[in-house]
Structure 1
Amino acid sequence: MHHFERCALVAYRCPAGKWTIGWGMTYYPDGRKVKAGDRITQAEADAMFVILLERDFVPAVRKAIGAAATTPAQFGAMVALAYNIGTFRFAWSTVARRHRAGDAVGASAAFLLWNKVRGAVSSGLMRRRRAEAALYLGNFVELKALTFGKVAA
């Protein structure tokens, strides 16, 4: 996910208009929302990323997909999507629904449905979603191409 989330040590408004800090985080581990003027260190950003990922996103994706057979690549792709769109949206997404049904091709295609910011298609989100779909399918050649060779199996 670090390829698609930049690390900012000073809060900024993301394209969706939310105050964001660190590795694309909109809230802190204690639940406070990020606000204008917030500052953190690189060590804090890295630690918060791990805490939020392990505490909030990994369990939420596990719950959303239930007992469906899941490869590590599929799980990683779905966690990356949930991190970007939120756990509530992920739980009700076509990606999760098709994954639970065992439809890997349909689930991978459904990543591309999450391509808009404020109603407009985002080229950055399209590249990100194509990379997540490639990861989901275990297509590491495509993943590498979409991440400029910075992500490998």
Structure 2
Amino acid sequence: MTVVAARDLNAKSLNLIKEVEGWRACTYKDVANKLTIGYGHLIVSRDGFKAGSCISKEQGEQLLKSDIKTATNCIGRLVKKPLTDNQFGALTSWAYNVGCGNAASSTLVRKLNEGNKNVVCSQLKTWRKAGGKVNQGLINRRYKECKLFSS
């Protein structure tokens, strides 16, 4: 069984995540109504942030680095087939957004591990809802992830 080792993201992949997440120095509610800060960091109680908290760009970069590490470890653990750097980055962006638990139980990962890379883009496009509603931002994000995966 081949395991895709977690690795650092290439610049294209990191820039994609920064672009699709956007930067917000102060807390906000994301499209799923969850308290968020920085580059899409979901706030948990141990973070110590409350509504109205703000952070520096440097703090945001540190949160992003930690969150990306979680997502790269997730994809590295779940995917059993070799991936190019861009494919790894696209899937990391997706896992960063949907969470490792959702990625682990996904048809996308199952089919990819069966050796079917051709379904990745169509599977990415199914992940377009937030809070139970289709979201144009997620449609746009999945398009960009597909484009990166295919490059």
1:78 matches 2:91: yes
Instruction: Report if aligned partners of 2:67, 2:96 keep a CA contact under 8 Å in 1.
Output: no
Alpha carbons of structure 1 residues 19 and 33: separation in structure 2 relative to 1, 3 Å? farther
Query: CA separation of 1:108/1:128 partners in 2, compared to 1, >3 Å: closer, same or farther?
Result: same
Name which of 50, 53, 60 aligns with 1:35. 50
Q: Answer yes or no: is the 8 Å Cα contact 1:115–1:121 preserved in 2.
A: yes
Which residue is equivalent to 2:127? 114
Q: Specify the SS of the correspondent of 2:53.
A: coil
Deviations 1:107-141 (A, max 9, x none): 22100010012222111111110111121121xxx
Provide the rounded CA distance (Å) in 1 between the counterparts of 2:110 and 2:95: 13
What is the percent sequence identity of the aligned residues? 27
Q: Is 1:58 aligned to residue 58 of structure 2?
A: no
Distance in 2, matches of 1:43 and 1:52, equals 14
The 10-residue stretch of structure 1 (126-135 or 17-26) with the greater mean CA deviation from structure 2:
126-135
- 1:52 Cα deviation from its structure 2 partner: 2.1
1:92 aligns with 2:108: no
Higher relative contact order (CA 8 A, sep 6+): 2
Write the distance in 1 (CA, Å) between the matches of 2:135 and 2:124. Answer: 14
2:148 aligns with: 135
- The TM-score, its normalising length taken from structure 1, stands at 0.81
Instruction: State the Cα deviation string for residues 20-40 of structure 1 (Å, max 9, x = none).
Output: 001000136x94375312221
Unaligned runs of 5+ in 2: 1-16
Q: Deviations over 1:35-69 (max 9, x none)?
A: 31222111100121112212x11111110113x12
Q: 1:25 aligns with which of 21, 41, 58?
A: 41
- Name the CA shift for 1:65/1:16 in 2 (closer, same or farther; >3 Å): same
Which residue number corresponds to residue 11 of structure 1?
27
Residues 69-115 of structure 1, C-alpha deviations (whole Å, 9 max, x = no match): 21111110000000111111111112211211111111221000100
Count of equivalent residues = 135
SS where residue 4 of structure 1 aligns?
Answer: helix
Indicate if the aligned counterparts of 1:74 and 1:135 stay in contact, CA closer than 8 A: yes
Question: Considering only aligned residues, what root-mean-square deviation do their CA atoms show, in Å?
Answer: 1.7
